[in-house]
Amino acid sequence: MDLSDHPLAGLLNRPEQLADRIGIEFTEVSPGRLVGTLPVSGNRQPYGMLHGGGSVVLAETLGSIAAALHAGPDRVAVGVDVSATHHRAAREGLVTGVCTPLHEGSRIASYEIVITDEADRRVCTARLTCAVLQRPPGT
């Protein structure tokens, strides 16, 4: 999916950021749902499985972008808490993260991110909470 015309393309496609370096690609950006993929290849731990940190980076990236969408142009969203439960190993292919809101308030936004493998088996369940703040002057 080409998201280059999306209003937040600048947030989604930023070279030299961690999400770009590990291969995260956004496949859906819509109100109430953000979806992205991560290749297992290049993001494995020594036992050949997807590194748990890769799952957390995917989850935090999706949740942070969702919170930025919620915050709007005059505010910023910053992560304050992330947790992840790793259910099973992924050894090849792509994993897909689906981010949906749990709560989107004026000061706090929380998201659930479910990461599955190509057989649609749950690999990881994560939760991200972001503080929604006024945009600092000059940013």
pLDDT digits (tens, 9 = 90+) for 37-79: 999 999 999 999 999 999 999 999 999 999 999 998 889 999 9
User: DSSP letters along 20-62, please?
Assistant: HHHT-EEEEEETTEEEEEEESTT-B-TTSSBPHHHHHHHHHHH
pLDDT at residue 14 in the model: 63
pLDDT tens digits along 74-123? 899 999 999 999 999 999 999 999 999 999 999 999 999 999 999 999 99
- Token representation of residue 122: 């749950």
Structure confidence at residue 1 (pLDDT)? 46
Pick the closest to residue 62 from 4, 137, 124 (CA basis): 124
Largest CA distance in the chain: 46
pLDDT tens for residues 4-42? 555 555 665 566 789 889 999 999 998 899 999 999 999
State the pLDDT at residue 123.
98
Q: Cα 138 from chain centroid?
A: 26
- Domain 9-134, second-level architecture: Roll (3.10)
Record the pTM: 0.90
Residues annotated as catalytic are 60
User: d(Cα 56, Cα 64) in Å, to the nearest integer?
Assistant: 12
Q: Alpha-carbon distance 40 to 97, whole Å?
A: 13
Specify whether the CB–CB gap between 103 and 66 falls below 8 A.
no
The domain segmentation of the chain, as residue ranges, is 9-134
